[in-house]
Structure 1
Amino acid sequence: MNLFSLIYKRIERGIVPVLLLIGWEIFSRSGVLPAALLPAPSQVLVAWADWIFGTDGNTQTYSGRWFFDVLHSFWRVLAGFTLAGLLGVALGMGIGWSRTIEKLIEPILQMLRPIPPVSWIPLAIIWFGIADRPAIFLVFLGAFFPVLLSTIHGVRNCDRNLLRAGAMTGGKPRMLLRHIVFPAALPSIFSGLRIAVGSAWMLTVTAEMVAVKSGVGYVLWDSYYFLRYDIVISAMASIGLLGFLSDLAIKRFAGHVLRWQRGSVLNAN
């Protein structure tokens, strides 16, 4: 591999984003739209830097508070996502393994699944008030079904020959679930978790725009009212960055857990 190819492989993923930013900067400064309606990336970067580090106070009450806002949002994502992961995997294992559990539980879950999580916002506010709990509830709803369905899929696609072999060696159902079915379902479970964490961030921001008075989503909505679109875009970029890092963390953890499975979707670039 020559030097040019090595350099290209290092920078190829950044080519399109850089070109988009350059085009955005040129368009914003062309005067086609007022600068206040479409801030240039350089202006957004200045606002974002002040929001994070409190550099010059141009974001006023938000100055230097980015880490606090992120911490509030991250806590809501973590709480709702963890609850959804635990319950989704447990129910998914049960539904995928037992026809009785499937007949008892799956119909009601399939009725609830098409209901958009955002439609629960009025009830969440009535039930939990204006605080963390409605946001955590909405995150749970958004993250639960991807984990549930992926787990069911993973259990039902477990190699039957492995189950027969386990049963022939005297394995009880609990042992088969623990040592054969669950490991076989892990690739599907991690795929569901990666989908779920994206939904978790989306629902957290939605809840913070309506039912919570803190977090990145609240800053986004509040700055919109004051026509600070540079802060709005900074908040959007923050959400994208946090979602990317969350997905990357799950992907890396899955790669560590699934070392025995090479070439899977989870390990794909």
Structure 2
Amino acid sequence: MTSPRSPAAAAARPARAAGSPRLRRLGLALVIPVVILVVWQLVGQRPGMAGVVPTPVMVARAWYDWIFADPGMGLNPYLGTWVSNVWYSTQRVAQGFAMAALLGIPLGLTIGWSRIASEMIDPLVQGLRPIPITAWLPFSIALFGIRDFGSIFLIFLGGFYPIVVNTTQGARDVDRNLVRAATMMGASPAQMLRRVVLPAAMPSIFTGLRIGLGIAWTAVIVSEMVAVKSGLGYVLWDAYYVGRMDIVLADMVSIGLMGFISDRLIVFVEKRVLVWRMLQNY
């Protein structure tokens, strides 16, 4: 039997101490969702509410069939189609968001670092930025038709502006002492941008990426309702049209889940890229 003072017991204590905060955070994170589910179940059980507000149990059953049921069973058009629709939406988000990041980060760095670029480009960006995604829908359909690229174009617009604005601010907030030091060491403008401005702006860039990705998921749902005939947005609108509110709510939960997972992926990359920032907190 292990003594409380043995090396094994001493090694176990830090492990338990490290695990305790994780369990505490998990418990705190589950409090509000559990309360929402309980209230939702009680409201959904009231007379006359079943067709308007399906209970969590009804939504979970519909979601299970949407994911796992055989598509050939019965007349339900949603059976077994969840994976394919999630894949369609995820592909569109990935393509549109990648385009937004590839264009938005260099443009934001240029606007934030160059006064001439700021005076030439920033007014245009700030003038176009307030136009909502829904306002671009008719233009997208007229230009691209009912095709995937119409949806990808709207996703690109949704992610582009937060990335540009945050990257611009990050480039403008670079510590001037770092700039002076690099200048004294003979850094060229290209080296300054690559070795000083870009690393200093990375926290703001990742903030823009996270915000832009959230808007990209909003844009894919809006675009799929009108501009294409597949994906989570299309299923959401189609299910509402035929009165399947259980599928509508399961779709909403699916969108939130995919948005959360993609956000955690960016946070994971951020922690690896900005490891120096994490070390400063110790």
The interval holding the TM-score normalised by the smaller chain is over 0.9
Distance 2:54 2:147 in 1: 32
Aligned match of 1:198? 214
User: Does the alignment pair 1:49 with 2:64?
Assistant: yes
2:124 to 108, 128, 146: 108
SS of 2:146's equivalent in the other structure is coil
**Alpha-carbon distance change, 15 to 58 in structure 1, aligned in 2, over 3 angstroms:** farther
**Alpha-carbon distance change, 44 to 55 in structure 1, aligned in 2, over 3 angstroms:** farther
On the 8 A contact 1:44/1:234 being kept in 2, the answer is yes
**Alpha-carbon distance change, 170 to 234 in structure 1, aligned in 2, over 3 angstroms:** same
User: Does the alignment pair 1:125 with 2:146?
Assistant: no
Structure 1, 58-67 or 205-214: larger mean CA deviation: 58-67
Aligned match of 1:37? 52
**Alpha-carbon distance change, 58 to 162 in structure 1, aligned in 2, over 3 angstroms:** farther
Q: Aligned residues, how many?
A: 264
Distance 2:21 2:92 in 1: 43
Aligned match of 1:99? 115
- Give TM-score, length-normalised by structure 2: 0.89
Distance 1:161 1:193 in 2: 27
SS of 2:77's equivalent in the other structure is helix
Matching of residues 211-250 of structure 1 within 5 Å = 211-250=227-266
**Alpha-carbon distance change, 203 to 6 in structure 1, aligned in 2, over 3 angstroms:** closer
Distance 1:10 1:250 in 2: 20
Distance 1:135 1:47 in 2: 27
Aligned match of 2:185? 169
Distance 2:235 2:75 in 1: 11
On the 8 A contact 1:139/1:203 being kept in 2, the answer is yes
Amino acid in structure 2 at the alignment position of 1:43: M
Amino acid in structure 2 at the alignment position of 1:202: T
Deviation of 1:228 (Å) = 0.3
1:109-155 CA distance string (max 9 Å, x none): 11111111210100100000001111111111111010000000000
1:166-224 CA distance string (max 9 Å, x none): 11111101001101110000000000000000000000000001111000000000011
Provide the identity percentage.
Answer: 46
User: Does the alignment pair 1:185 with 2:201?
Assistant: yes
Aligned match of 1:143? 159
Provide structure 1 residue ranges, at least 5 long, that are not aligned to the other structure.
none
Amino acid in structure 2 at the alignment position of 1:182: L
Amino acid in structure 2 at the alignment position of 1:113: R
1:33-82 CA distance string (max 9 Å, x none): 43011100000000001111116957811111111000100111011101
Amino acid in structure 2 at the alignment position of 1:106: D
Provide structure 2 residue ranges, at least 5 long, that are not aligned to the other structure.
1-16
Distance 1:247 1:5 in 2: 22
Distance 1:255 1:65 in 2: 35
Q: CA RMSD in A?
A: 2.1
Amino acid in structure 2 at the alignment position of 1:107: P
Distance 2:185 2:44 in 1: 69
On the 8 A contact 2:43/2:49 being kept in 1, the answer is no
Amino acid in structure 2 at the alignment position of 1:185: A
1:231-258 CA distance string (max 9 Å, x none): 0001100000001111111011101110
- Give TM-score, length-normalised by structure 1: 0.93
